[in-house]
Structure 1
Amino acid sequence: MYRGPRTTALSAVVLVASLSACGGSEGYTVPQEVCGRKIDPGLLRPLLPEGEKFEAEVTPIGDDMTRCLLSVDGRTELGIREYRDGGEIDAMKFAAENPSRFVNPKKASFGADTVVSDGMALSVNPCTYQGKEGHYILDVSVERFDVSEPDGWREELERFAEAYLPVGMEETGCEE
């Protein structure tokens, strides 16, 4: 069952991928693969600040949930959570019930049921895994979101989540 982005894990395996650029003034390079998913670095880069060192910490939590935290210079900047069988929820209703996390939520045009807000994206999609029907949930949050920013990276977040969704579903084992 989906418990939101702050779910606590009792046990987790952590894999850390770290990249630093060779040139001092150029900063870090976003890799072609993040969180075990191939994704265009150009879609991710606008969601991250300047810095010297990029890290992606992937934590499988149980059989159905994965959390990936992206950090720059040791500060968490983006959280990506995937739930292979997160239960059926109404994304807009969930956003409305959590106004402190979903600022200015709007339905998105991708996925089965997706809401994008200033700094958060939540997508709920049918997922058949090993013959069992369920729901794949993608939860992406920009941790450095500043409510004083006029758009909260909404367009960049939406582009990233839309590209990540089919890759995440496939890699998680969801069948059509």
Structure 2
Amino acid sequence: MLFRVNRKIATACVLVSILVGCSTDSNKKEYASPEALCEVPVDAGVLSKLLPPGEKIAVQERNPTPHRKRCQVNVDGRVALIASQEWWEDGDGIDVVAHAFPQLKSAQLSGDGTSLHTGTGALRKVEACGRAGYSGYTLFTAIQVYARDVDDSVAVKKLIDDYTDGVVASATCR
């Protein structure tokens, strides 16, 4: 009887070992993180912390309206992150704009009142940007993380700062 139990345990251990040995590492990133989000330079190392494991990455620019420019990052065909530039009417405060981003429900406003962030999203008012054709509007940048099991407020803060600096230096603000 004891021999049968030990044999069943040994067989189960062999089967588990085979299954584990044959499985792929689902936590591996087989792609390189981009160094820019739709031509806006960012730190690829910081961006990588906010992206899920997977095989393929694709970056697409989407402009749903003339006042919104979105850069969508897909991993294995699923939306992982969106970086956006959005012109809102002067007078719309960061608290009003934040309602458009579900990732910011629990965000706290920064001391200077120009940004807020969580582990899955950030929003920043771009003070140093005035562009012809957008008189009466204020630019905001946003990061939205859709990847599962990603929640890193330090990386999100670094990415929104990086992305905003890149936008200010781009043609968007010249």
TM-score, normalized by the shorter chain, greater than 0.5: yes
Match of residue 33, structure 1, among 17, 20, 36: 36
Q: State whether structure 2 residue 161 is matched by structure 1 residue 173.
A: no
**3-state DSSP of counterpart to 2:79:** strand
2:160 alignment partner in structure 1: 161
- TM-score normalized by structure 1? 0.69
Question: Which residues of structure 2 form unaligned runs of 5+?
Answer: 1-27
Q: Is the 8 A contact 2:120 2:153 kept in 1?
A: yes
Specify whether residues 26 and 118 from structure 1 end up closer, same or farther in structure 2 by C-alpha distance, changes over 3 A only: closer
- The alpha-carbon deviation at position 60 of structure 1 amounts to 2.6
Q: How many angstroms apart in 2 are the aligned matches of 1:129 and 1:122?
A: 20
Q: Which runs of 4+ in 1 moved over 6 A?
A: none
1:3 alignment partner in structure 2: none
Larger mean Cα displacement after TM superposition, 34-43 or 127-136: 127-136
- The alpha-carbon deviation at position 166 of structure 1 amounts to 1.5
Match of residue 69, structure 1, among 68, 72, 91: 72
- TM-score normalized by structure 2? 0.70
**3-state DSSP of counterpart to 1:144:** coil
Give the fraction of aligned pairs with identical amino acids, expressed as a percent.
Answer: 19
Question: Which residues of structure 1 form unaligned runs of 5+?
Answer: 1-24
In terms of fraction of residues, the more strand-rich structure is: 1
User: 1:21-71: per-residue Cα shift (whole Å, max 9, x none)?
Assistant: xxxx76001122221112120110000011110111101334332111101
Q: How many angstroms apart in 2 are the aligned matches of 1:153 and 1:101?
A: 12
In terms of fraction of residues, the more helix-rich structure is: 2
Specify whether residues 68 and 113 from structure 1 end up closer, same or farther in structure 2 by C-alpha distance, changes over 3 A only: same
Q: How many angstroms apart in 2 are the aligned matches of 1:33 and 1:118?
A: 21
Alignment of 1:6-155 (within 5 A): 27-83=30-86, 85-88=87-90, 89-92=92-95, 94-95=97-98, 101-108=103-110, 113-126=114-127, 127-130=129-132, 132=135, 134-144=137-147, 152-155=151-154
User: 1:69-120: per-residue Cα shift (whole Å, max 9, x none)?
Assistant: 101111111011112x32232223554x57954242112368x611112311
Q: How many angstroms apart in 2 are the aligned matches of 1:28 and 1:144?
A: 15
Q: Is the 8 A contact 1:34 1:56 kept in 2?
A: yes
User: 1:105-152: per-residue Cα shift (whole Å, max 9, x none)?
Assistant: 112368x61111231111122331128363111121111255xx7xx2
Q: How many angstroms apart in 2 are the aligned matches of 1:129 and 1:67?
A: 18
Q: How many angstroms apart in 2 are the aligned matches of 1:39 and 1:139?
A: 14
Amino acid at match of 2:130: T
Which protein shows a greater Rg?
2
Larger mean Cα displacement after TM superposition, 26-35 or 72-81: 26-35
